[in-house]
Structure 1
Amino acid sequence: MLIHNADVATIFNQIADLLEIKSDNPFRVRAYRNAARTLNALTSSVQTMVAEKRDLTDLPGIGVDLAGKIVEIVTTGTCALREQLHRQFPPSVHELLTVPGLGPKRVNTLYRQRNIRTLDQLYSSAHNGQIRNIPGFGVRAEQRILEALRTQQSKKKRYRLDLAESIAGSLLEYLRAPGDIKKIEIAGSIRRRQETVGDLDILISSSRPRLIIQRFVKFEGVTQILTQGITRASVVLRQGMQVDLRVVSNDSFGAALHYFTGSKSHSIAVRTLAQKRGLKMNEYGVFSGTRRIASETEAAVFQAVGLPYIEPELRENRGEFAAAQSGKLPQLIHLADLAGDLHSHTKASNGRNSLREMAIEAKKRGLSYLAITDHSRSLTVAHGLNAEGLTRQMDEIDQLNTELGLKLLKGCEVEINEDGTLDLPDSILERLDIVVAAVHSKFGLSRERQTKRILRAMDHPCFTLLAHPSGRLILEREPYDVDMQQIILHARQRGCFLELNAQPSRLDLTDTYCMMAKSEGVLISVNSDAHSIFDFDNLRFGIGQARRGWLEKKDVLNTLSIAQLLLSISHSGK
């Protein structure tokens, strides 16, 4: 049985949800959530680790009990604790957690006080005005539940990019094993680095298509074969994701890769350009009459219609054609362009590694500086630091800066209070190299109040960077209502910066707001928001989002050298 890290993490998150619904010990809940996060960020397979009898307790946040449950899940595909918890509630209760804005505590309230146990019951209760009078809800919360349910019903199921990539990686490794493949690529929305994925498109070049197809449909994770031909097949995996496979000849690979990468709007526009030149274009190539004039590479396909190569992340028909025709395509940023990371956490708040361990790992990753930004005091769920704790940490940073050959910056992820003030006194803020300010509460404020709150925080002379500016969690929580254009314009006026948080659950800023910030000359910081040494892997997701937002090296704050960075942030907000 093939078990992905994401499968184990999903079970741990489900356990945490069910424990929280039944009001279990919050520390126990947090342990399962932290373990799930560790597993999602882990690059090596826990199934392989179990097979090799490696000590799972070496992983951050994984104790003996959790290690035993990982072995149990890898071995059996499930966990007795999860099944026991499921038996304590109707199976449909867990479905309520799929509604954005409904966390376990609210689901607990709905279940205990109104016996709401299904999505249909939830919709009926909200539609009939029976939610608003429940303590902790109100009219606006009831309306948001209705809107979320309607939106959910109209959408095809999608998967976060990191989960889709993990599934795709296992499938590609399986398909490559026999060695009869010349080229293999993931196309579609993963290749364009969209933040969510509906299905997987795999393209293979091989002289043995029938064998490839036969092997594909026998993949252990396949639960349904939708179609199976000589050169193409479609299946559904255990996670519910559809995978479409195409096998083509090597001399058609470039045309097929362009065709199956999309987007649909981009592809239609390219075909229109081909038609204007009297050409025909499909997944097999670009044709003049019956003569194929381009097909082997994507660059040749673009050249045939009079265009330079356009990077996959730009293929959304959002101006890439005009930019290509005028020679103004951006030189998109690469992961190697990052000189540092300006948002990370340690054990001092809700991280899983020590300050020293985080610094050593950042240096291994080729970074030359790292900002330590543990949470401030009011975020009690994250064990935020008060002034005394921050002072101790600053002393430790001073000591490590004499030892490690990597510049550690003294920072803090400071709470933005409801009134827009910051959560620490100026006497402490003034001692920090960087102040990363964030909203973690009062998401339901009106657009006017939320915007005013953030703008006031940005006006603080110590403010450097706005973290995860919209507060969204992809497929879990909608962004709070805020005037992002006004925030971007204010950042330009104040000379401060915005974050692109690279956690695949956030990817916040969105690509469109990255484009807006770029047009206004506001620098973006692509940060990992690392809570463990494994989370530095998040940076590649952030870079993918930055590239979708047309960002170049010059548009990103943390591509600067440490001297340039310190000069820039010393002027921020002044």
Structure 2
Amino acid sequence: MARLNDQVGALLQEYADLLLLTGGDAYRARSYEKAARSVAGHAGDLDGLDAKGLQTIPGVGKSTAGKIAEYLGTGRIQALEALRADIPPGVREIMGIPTVGPKKAALIHRELGVSTVDELLDAARTGRLDDLPGLGARTAGNIVRGIQVLRSGAGRSLLDAALALAAEIAAAVRAAPGCERCAHAGSLRRMRESVGDVDILAAAHDSAPLMAALTGLPLTAEVLVGGPTKTSVRTTTGVQVDLRVVPPEDWGAAMVYFTGSKAHNIKLRGRAVKAGLKLSEYGLFDAGDGRRIASRTEEEVYAALGLPWIPPELREDRGEIEAALAGGLPVLVEESDLRGDLHTHTDLTDGLAPLEEMLAAAHARGHAYYAVTDHAPDLSMQRMTDAKMLAQREQLRSQAGRHGRMRLLHGTELNIGPDGGVDWPAAFLAGFDICVASIHSHFGLDRDAQTRRLLRACENPYVHVIGHPATRLLGRRDGIDADWEAVYAACARTGTALEVNGSPERLDLGDERIAAARRHGVRFAIDSDAHAVGHLGNLRYGVATARRGGLTADEVVNTWPLTRLRAFLRAKAR
């Protein structure tokens, strides 16, 4: 089940979108949008806060607090339901298509009478959008691709939501009488960027209390399958959860089997067959006499197959078994290896918390160093100026020594323009400790143009990190098309790090591109891209993606001591 803050944030965002869709005041809609982001990113739980307490959250005024309090008390927001009643459900779905949004959805509905996604797809493909003001054939093509992206992610949960759901269910099952062990398995344990369902594995001699714990949860909406070894339910948010209970002595073999992947397990079974063994979820057995060889722990099962234990994130049949046989498995980066965060925002631009709060939260997380990287002026909606940025630098310097031994770095997130240029001239950029440069627009440029802009950014002596390099938003926007091999080579040649962005909506670079880039000797930065105090925990998801790409700690620049990191940053400008 989604965290209460996220539920309320989503409702406020929907209210903002519907205000725009119905022609409401744009300023009012933006205030609700800001409140939505602030509530979702709020570190504390909303439950138990009264209207006065709610107004202490940045961006939450009296009217917004009233709506939140109404939802906390009744489970409804009457004003939101009134707006929903005025708009066909299909139009609200259209609004969520990448590249559309509320204004275009309203225009298309008003001018063409389009009320469903299928009708919009037909209108885009038959040219009926081409003559609408502000649209045209190119926009129609983007809408078709946006629908395809949206449908490809339908029914899937992002990593953070799936992990939160799994943790809640596992805690309930673990508390049931007789439960000896409980953990999530499947693609979630392999930390894939999104999952179709959630697999929970438990160990007990009597499964009945454990199954009852799952089916009795408030988040369980429907029991799909019930039995002594497996129960499947659908949650109130539509996610399927499968709980399997095995005898404690079978735990290791069951974890191997139900973690997968299918291709990895096929390779393991092939090794077992060649050795005269049989591998299943019940254990590893002698194929001749049926004698059990191993089953209690994963390590025992892998060892009996002549292999070291393989981290779950690598179990995708991408050469991990061959690497294990050759003694070449990487020692994967851990979250505890990270010494700092190099990409974060404050309320000076589009962040939600003031500088002091972000610094205090970073210190509480134990960072040795921390970079503040608010947006530069080319993103005009952020209203950045030279004076504002210099004032922030002085404010940051005044904070030195107030947060223990944590060292503070002043940086910026530059915008990579369509020609590869960035916001400020060299003389101004030279004053920053670190510059992250990212693409925020012109996503539809062709392959050659996208490649050129990234190469030029890499060659800029003041660009240290390419932020969220592919620009993807999971389930909402595909990444840009570029010659990635050329980009990796340029990063390696110029000493430019590629970011593994920990935002669960991005996880960019993705695991396969990480693996390709590291073959070129590229360095990486695992960052939170935090826009609120609660987002600082995004590092967890960035580390998971980095591990899936095979990264070691030494390949990640923000695992290094500050002296080594500073030397890396200085070397770029030489």
TM over 0.5: yes
Contact 1:496 1:573 in 2 (8 A): no
Please say if 1:375 is aligned against 2:375: yes
Partner of 1:496: 496
Cα distance change of structure 1 residues 394 and 5 upon mapping to structure 2, 3 Å threshold: closer
Which residue in the other structure is 2:234 paired with? 236
> 1:236: how far off?
1.0
> Could you tell me how far apart the structure 1 residues matched to 2:58 and 2:67 are?
15
Measure, in 1, the Cα distance between the counterparts of 2:23 and 2:379. 20
Q: Distance in 2 between matches of 1:321 and 1:573?
A: 41
1:112 aligned residue: 110
Q: Residues 2 and 220 of structure 1 are in contact (CA less than 8 Å); yes or no, is this contact kept in structure 2?
A: no
**Which residue of the partner structure matches residue 139 of structure 2?**
141
* Alpha-carbon spacing, 1:439–1:272, altered in 2? closer, same or farther (3 Å): same
CA distances 1:407-453 after superposition (whole Å, capped 9, x unpaired): 11111111122222111233311111111111111111112112212
Deviates more, 1:535-544 or 1:95-104: 95-104
Q: Secondary structure at 1:211's aligned position in 2?
A: helix
For residue 123 of structure 1, report the CA deviation from its aligned partner. Answer: 1.5
Contact 1:464–1:573 (Cα < 8 Å) also in 2: no
- Rate the CA distance shift 1:309–1:389 in 2: closer, same or farther, 3 A: same
Cross-structure match for 2:387: 388
Alignment of 1:95-134 (within 5 A): 95-134=93-132
CA distance in 2, matches of 1:488, 1:439: 16
- Residue-by-residue CA offset, 1:115-158 (whole Å, 9 max, x unaligned): 22101211211221212333333323323333443565566621
Aligned counterpart in structure 1 of residue 80 of structure 2, from 79, 82, 101: 82
1:185 CA drift (Å): 0.4
Shift of 1:307: 0.8
Task: Calculate the TM-score normalised by the size of structure 2.
Answer: 0.94
Distance in 2 between residues matched to 1:53 and 1:214, nearest whole Å: 38
**Deviation >6 Å, runs of 4+:** none
In structure 1, what is the Cα distance between the partners aligned to 2:16 and 2:477?
Answer: 17
CA contact (8 A) 1:438 1:466 kept: yes
1:69 CA displacement: 2.8
| Counterparts of 2:151 and 2:374, CA distance in 1 | 38
Q: Deviations over 1:202-239 (max 9, x none)?
A: 11112331122123122222222111112211111111
Letter in 2 for 1:445: L
66-75 or 193-202: bigger deviation: 66-75
Structure-1 separation of matches of 2:402 and 2:214:
52
Deviation at 1:252, TM superposition (A): 0.8
Match for residue 278 of structure 1?
Answer: 276
Aligned counterpart, 1:465? 465
Counting only pairs closer than 5 Å after superposition, residues 313-328 of structure 1 correspond to structure 2 as 313-328=313-328
Partner Cα separation in structure 2 for residue 53 and residue 299 of structure 1? 53
Matched, 1:360 2:382: no
Identical pairs, percent: 37
Give the RMSD, CA atoms, in angstroms.
2.2
Report the AA paired with residue 145 of structure 1: I
CA contact (8 A) 1:184 1:205 kept: yes
- What is the CA-CA distance between 1:250 and the residue it aligns to? 0.8
- Whole-Å Cα distance in 2 between the matches of residues 378 and 500 of structure 1? 23
Q: Is the contact between residue 4 and residue 167 of structure 1 (CA under 8 Å) also seen in structure 2?
A: no
Instruction: Please name the residue that 1:292 is paired with.
Output: 292
The corresponding residue for 1:341 is 341
Q: Deviations over 1:82-129 (max 9, x none)?
A: 211112211111111343333333323322332221012112112212
* Alignment check: 8 A CA contact 1:497 1:572 kept: no
Please say if residues 2 and 165 of structure 2, whose CA atoms lie closer than 8 Å, have aligned partners that are also in contact.
Answer: no
Q: What runs of 5+ residues in structure 1 fail to find an aligned partner?
A: none
Q: Which amino acid aligns with 1:531?
A: H
Alpha-carbon displacement from aligned partner over 1:441-492 (angstroms, at most 9, x marks no partner): 1111112112212222222221111111111111111112222222111111
Contact kept, 8 Å, 2:174 with 2:181, in 1: the verdict is no
Deviation at 1:44, TM superposition (A): 5.5
> Which amino acid counterpart does residue 111 of structure 2 have in structure 1?
Q
How many Å separate the matches in 2 of 1:206 and 1:39?
A: 40
1:15 aligns with: 15
Secondary structure, counterpart of 2:254 in structure 1: helix
- What corresponds to 1:210 in structure 2? 208
Change (3 A) 1:184 1:70: farther
The residue type paired with residue 414 of structure 1 is: L
Asked whether the 8 Å contact 2:415–2:422 carries over to 1, the reply is: yes
Query: Which residue number corresponds to residue 440 of structure 2?
Result: 440
- In 2, the alpha carbon distance for the partners of 1:520 and 1:353 equals 38
Q: Specify the alignment match of 1:351 in structure 2.
A: 351
The 2-side partners of 1:150 and 1:532 are apart by: 31
Whether the 8 Å CA contact 2:224–2:233 is kept in 1: the answer is: yes
Q: In 2, distance between residues paired with 1:257 and 1:142?
A: 47
Contact 1:337 1:553 in 2 (8 A): yes
What's 1:305 paired with?
305
Letter in 2 for 1:68: G
Q: 1:77 to 1:38 in 2, by over 3 A?
A: same
Distance 2:152 2:559 in 1: 41
Inter-CA distance 261–75: structure 2 relative to 1 (3 Å threshold): farther
Structure 1 range deviating more: 550-559 or 127-136? 127-136
Assess, with a 3 A threshold, how the Cα gap between structure 1 residues 37 and 323 changes in structure 2: closer, same or farther: farther
Equivalences, count: 571
Deviates more, 1:35-44 or 1:346-355: 35-44
Aligned twin of 1:261 = 259
After TM superposition, the structure 1 stretch with the greater mean CA deviation from structure 2, 196-205 or 402-411, is 402-411
**Alignment partner, residue 397 of structure 2:** 398
The alignment status of 1:332 with 2:332, answered yes or no, reads yes
Q: CA offsets, 1:503-546, max 9 Å, x none?
A: 11111101111112211111110011111221111110111111
* Shift, 1:291, TM fit: 1.6
2:231 and 2:244 in contact (8 A); partners too: yes
TM-score, normalised on structure 1?
Answer: 0.94
Tell me the distance in 1 between the aligned counterparts of 2:357 and 2:4: 27
Corresponding residue SS for 1:431: coil
C-alpha distance after superposition, 1:293-337 (max 9, x if no partner): 111111111112111000010011111011100011010111111
